Amino acid sequence: MEIPLLGIRRTMLRMVMALLRNSHRQYYPDLRFAEGTEAMLISNTIFLAQVEGKPFTVLALSKHLGMPRATLLRRLHYLESKKFVRRDADQRLEFNIERLRSAGASRTLHRGRRIVLATANMLSKMDTDKCTQ
């Protein structure tokens, strides 16, 4: 069975996995990879909502992510204990920007950027008509 655009799919999936592993090593090394990935999803969603001026409450975030509230609360407890996330006076979730000021955080961001640029370079050289391998 031939998989359509396999080369492109493989390259993009490798990029996603490399980005996840890169961030996991820096921010969540004490969690198993799958749990760290879930923590990244939650904290990155909180961060993005915050910088876009639309912070989430726990209930709204649970609905947005399609995640059971109990699971989200367990992950939030971890993120709050590690000072990644906090709640404001109105119980909206905030990402702790101070976590991004370390040298390790900067190195992780730059490694991630290099991963994306290298992948973009590989993808730009692929002939979409011949990417079945």
Q: Tell me, yes or no, whether 129 lies in a domain.
A: no
Distance CA 94, CA 27 (A): 17
Tell me the pTM: 0.88
Q: Tell me, yes or no, whether 83 lies in a domain.
A: yes
End-to-end CA distance of the chain: 12
Number of domain units in the chain: 1
Q: Which positions of the chain have pLDDT values less than 70?
A: 128-133
Q: Tell me, yes or no, whether 53 lies in a domain.
A: yes
pLDDT of residue 95: 97
- CATH number of the domain residue 105 falls in: 1.10.10.10
pLDDT of residue 1: 81
Distance CA 82, CA 32 (A): 15
Q: Tell me, yes or no, whether 133 lies in a domain.
A: no
Q: Tell me, yes or no, whether 65 lies in a domain.
A: yes
Q: Tell me, yes or no, whether 13 lies in a domain.
A: yes
pLDDT of residue 130: 61
pLDDT of residue 132: 55
pLDDT of residue 79: 98
Q: Which domain holds residue 93?
A: 6-123
Q: Tell me, yes or no, whether 1 lies in a domain.
A: no
pLDDT of residue 84: 97
Tell me if residue 59 falls in helix, strand or coil: helix
CA dist 11 → 19, 26, 29, 35, 120 (Å) = 12, 23, 25, 24, 9
pLDDT of residue 127: 74
